[in-house]
Structure 1
Amino acid sequence: MNAIPPRRTGGRAARRAERSAPITGAMRSIRPGMEGGRYSSLTDADVLRIHHTALDALEQIGLADGPPSGVEYLTGAGAVLGDDGRIRFPRALIEDTIARANRSITLMGRDPQHDMQLSGTRVHYGTAGAAVHMVDVDGRNYRECTVQDLHDAARIADVLDNIHFVQRPMVCRDIPDNMEMDLNTIYACCAGTTKHVGVSFTERAFAREGLKMLHMIAGSEEAWRERPFVSNSNCFVVPPMKFATESCEVMEEVILGGMPVLLLSAGMAGATAPSTIAGAIVQATAECLAGLVYVNAVKPGHPAIFGTWPFGLDLRTGAMTGGSGEQALLSAGCAQMHRFYDLPGGAAAGITDAKLPDMQAGWEAMCSNVMAGLSGLNMVYEAAGMHASLLGFCLESLILGDDLIGHAQRCVRGIEVDDETLALEQIRDVCIGGPGHYLGTAQTLARMQSDYQYPKLGNRMSPKLWDEAGKPDLNRDTTARKEAILSERSAARFASDVDQAIRQAFKIHLPT
């Protein structure tokens, strides 16, 4: 009688080790900049009607309150200043501007591996907003944000694979001086992440000081201009159809300083924008087209993001509804207009009206994040962490958002159909003389990482295993991961001599 050979476990152990090893970028099922655009909320005829209505609005109504410098730039480009003080835009001027605008821009990180190419329907997800409160998950309450909170958010975002950029998600309520707050925002974000950063400036003079700090971080003005790793989120309009004087002056300053610009139009449907979804998209499109003329009048071809950010309202109460289906449609429709113009664009998604990371927060954030991605939105702002209709930011939700956006990105990637994925020969081999199942086949093992997206915190245990593991709680596990990330020193911190020079030149509120 032959002896039973010993069981071989080396192959299984090796496979387990391979599955648990960190996934390289080439192996991942998702990655930044995947192409969306498979979903269209508007028909081609709808898009054309919105486009022509926006042109009518610019030609017939125009924008008020342009600063003197802006009036000079715009009238020099061909806009018309009316006796009523409104600046109107001939259709030919808009069409010529669209034709010569920058169609593909790269938003750079301090680390080149985080560079983002904005063109076509390439999709990227990140933070944004101006929350004034932090969400305390354990205490179930809200408190004012601090510069340390902002720095912590940047540090956490830096290690999350599916957060591709860090636009300031909160304001530093512990810094009352506006210039110090603007400068400390740059410091806190850039010292926390090497991904692309977005910031705002209150006044033109503050932007000049901010550029000086960025030159120091980059190593020189020349190095900064070669690789500008911070962009300006610029609310250049006060809807409906008015320029914001101070923001326009800031925009002129940062353009001359080599900083990319997000042209941000954020009307509230039913309040500062028409209550209909189509009307809100028309106004946002018109305002951003005016901004595009402005940017190209200052510096032709300057990197500008077409930032149509209309928000929804609950018309029963007047409360903002960032987590609504209407908000998802607003952002998806705007993404379709960006595709029509073939311009780099951004809009808001992922906002939740829920006060804590709960089921409401999950369904609201997933709905708009998926629709924005499927629509091919280049920059999905406010995609993670935002609660209470942008009033609160939660570090735990930022981490949970990494999982959520991972699933959204898998939807963006879609379904590949070719000879290999149709799997006829695999079906033949399994069914005729094969094992009768696909578990453990070479094709299945080869696709485990490249085709499937797995949550880092989401729980897929059976109830039995969940019970045996002590019934792990998602929020508690997320808080533990937050604390683990923040226990490590920031990998994006500045060299000691650079940090010392910045602290000597500016009043930095973060401790060393």
Structure 2
Amino acid sequence: DVGKDGETLHVPRGLARELLKTAPSSFTQHARNADRNVKIGDGSTVFAPVYGPPFIHNLDEGRRYATIEDFRNFVKLAYMTPAMHHSGGTVCEPVDVPVNKRHLDMVYSHIRLSDKPFMGSVTAPERAADTVSMAKIVFGDEFVENNCCIINLINANSPMVFDGTMLGAMKVYSAANQACVVSPFILAGAMSPVTVAGTVAQLFAEAQVGMATTQLIRKGAPVVFGTFGSSISMQSGAPTFGTPEPALVLYASAQLARRIGVPFRSGGSLCGSKVPDAQAAYESAQTISATLNGGVNFVLHAAGWLEGGLASGYEKFVMDADQVGMMQVLAGGVDLSENGQAMDAIREVGPGAHFLGCEHTQANFETAFYRSTIADNNSFEQWESEGSQDAAQRANKLWKDMLAEYEAPAIDPGVDEALNAFIAQKKDAVPDAFT
């Protein structure tokens, strides 16, 4: 039912829910290395890097516009980071490459520099189609037709609008049986009511209509209920992060996703800080903790987010990844196996002695506790002798060491040649455009 304005769509009560009965409760996104496949839904949580920033930040240069070299660097870092299950999508926006061609370089970077699953381009329907074509070169036409090899982000233009670009990309991916994350982007107070319940009601309506549309395009196409909910300062209008209200929105939305039987996307390591400082750390800790506690299935922005999403931070990336690794150990729960209960060790050591030299400790000490890649727990004197570095300075060295040690995963030479030929043909077909 279209409203009198010719633009507003009124969906009858129950129709969206009925259409969503054909959406899968979980699905596997395939990577070109099958060992990297990820399950999205049914209690699994997949972590992916930051998405979308036009700037990068590091301690050496400060803040500047991102380039394709930065994009490649973040793909490499995600590939080398065990806590990142996914290569992500627009890990930063490479402004040195023409707008109408950069998606080709970005998708190729994910395919060539990593063997983890990745996200597709959504900035125009034809760019989504290019992504599907590149996936078919890698996986084969029939495999892509029958399996999810791409996931993509479809944002609602809240309040209650889906624009032509997003709907166009949705049509391409859903028709190709590839997964859409239908995600209202909400800054409460500006794009939704100031209350938690009002915000949840609005975003649930937006998400249901978007997800139902994917099922109209192709029944059974994989789809994810996404939310990005944050608050704003009622004094300045600036977005705020790490506050309690967005966590409540996340918890309520996660329960609604489970109720309607689709996977859920939200959360991340979000902050408003411009640099990797204490504010960045505590705001990110708040948001990633809510993400884990809420049972989110697909987590964008798990590493690298700075400045309210305007910058991808090199130091922030490895600091966040360290925290996400800790969260994953926490989510693993308590080991109640015979080794985990350690009764033999308790009997061996007995009263008044220590466990450092016992057989159980010797057998388990390498994996007994999470070992941070960033934290310094040495004496003051040793810390001082090593340069009195803070966490960001240690992170600066870590990401540089990781890039220096990077080795690209193997790829079939024929596939690589076909990808490069496809990219060259597409680039030659149109002139460069930067708008």
What's the TM-score once normalised by structure 1's chain length? 0.76
Deviations 1:346-381 (CA, angstroms, capped at 9, x unpaired): 013211111111221111112111221122111111
Alignment counterpart, residue 34 of structure 2, candidates 112, 115, 132: 112
Q: Which residue of 1 aligns with 2:194?
A: 275
Counterpart check, 1:444 vs 2:361: yes
Alpha-carbon distance in 2 for matches of 1:421, 1:480? 35
Q: Does 1:193 align with 2:107?
A: no
Distance 1:397 1:291 in 2: 33
SS in 2 for 1:91: coil
Q: d(CA) in 2 for partners of 1:381 and 1:290? A: 22
Contact 1:267/1:273 (CA < 8 Å) preserved in 2?
Answer: yes
- For residue 67 of structure 2, what is the aligned residue in structure 1? 146
Q: Please give the secondary structure, in 1, of the residue aligned with 2:257.
A: helix
Determine the C-alpha separation between the residues in 1 that align with 2:410 and 2:194.
45
* Alignment-derived partner of residue 319 in structure 2: 400
1:15-41, Cα deviation, whole Å (9 max, x unpaired): xxxxxxxxxxxxxxxxxxxxxxxxxxx
- Paired position in structure 2 for 1:100: 22
Query: Match of 2:46, SS?
Result: strand
Residue in 2 that maps onto 1:466: 383
Matches within 5 A, 1:427-438: 427=346, 429-431=348-350, 436-438=353-355
Contact 1:335–1:377 under 8 Å retained in 2 = yes
Query: Which residue is 1:338 aligned to?
Result: 257
Contact 1:331–1:349 (Cα < 8 Å) also in 2: no
Give distance in 2, aligned partners of 1:405 and 1:395.
16
Q: CA RMSD in A?
A: 2.6
Change in Cα spacing, 1:107 to 1:449, as seen in structure 2 (3 Å) is: farther
Q: Is the 8 A contact 1:204 1:250 kept in 2?
A: yes
Correspondences of 1:44-443 after superposition (within 5 Å): 80-85=1-6, 86-139=8-61, 141-167=62-88, 168-177=90-99, 179-216=100-137, 218=138, 220-235=140-155, 237-416=156-335, 421=340, 426-427=345-346, 429-431=348-350, 436-443=353-360
The CA distance in 2 between the partners of 1:276 and 1:128, in whole Å, is 27
Unaligned runs of 5+ in 2: none
Query: 2: CA distance between counterparts of 1:286 and 1:456?
Result: 42
Question: Residue 106 of structure 1: CA displacement?
Answer: 0.9
Q: Secondary structure at the match of 1:81?
A: coil
Residue identity opposite 2:119 in structure 1: G
Share of identical aligned residues, percent?
Answer: 22
In 1, the alpha carbon distance for the partners of 2:40 and 2:308 equals 27
Choose which of 400, 405, 410 in structure 2 pairs with 1:483.
400
Match of 1:453 among 370, 392, 396: 370
Could you say what secondary structure the match of 2:119 adopts? Answer: strand
Distance in 2 of aligned mates of 1:148 and 1:493: 20
Tell which deviates more after alignment, 104-113 or 451-460: 451-460
Paired residues of 2:182 and 2:207 also in contact (CA < 8 A): yes
CA distance in 2, matches of 1:82, 1:285: 20
Whether the 8 Å CA contact 1:200–1:234 is kept in 2: the answer is no
Q: Deviations over 1:300-345 (max 9, x none)?
A: 1111111122222122211111343333333333223323333211
Question: Structure 1 residues 125 and 500 mapped into 2: Cα distance closer, same or farther (>3 Å)?
Answer: closer
Distance (whole Å) between structure 1 residues aligned to residue 337 and residue 405 of structure 2: 45
Paired amino acid for 1:368: T
Deviation at 1:128, TM superposition (A): 3.3
CA contact (8 A) 1:156 1:485 kept: yes
CA deviation digits over 1:450-484, x for unaligned, max 9? 55211123222122332344444433333233223
> Structure 1 residues 92 and 227 mapped into 2: Cα distance closer, same or farther (>3 Å)?
closer
Contact kept, 8 Å, 1:355 with 1:388, in 2: the verdict is: yes
Q: Secondary structure of the residue that 1:143 maps to in structure 2?
A: strand
Distance 1:191 1:436, change over 3 A: same
CA contact (8 A) 1:134 1:142 kept: yes
Cα deviation code 1:218-241 (max 9, x no counterpart): 153234335543222112x21111
Secondary structure (helix, strand or coil) at the match of 2:64 reads strand
Distance in 2 between the 1:451 and 1:376 partners? 25
Alpha-carbon distance in 2 for matches of 1:427, 1:493 = 47
Distance 2:363 2:277 in 1: 35
Alpha-carbon deviations, 1:169-206, whole Å to 9, x = none?
Answer: 221212343x2122222123322221111133222222
Post-superposition shift, 1:281?
A: 1.9
- Contact map agreement 2:80 2:406 (CA 8 A) in 1: no
**3-state SS of 1:393 partner:** strand
Q: Which runs of 5+ in 1 are unaligned?
A: 1-79
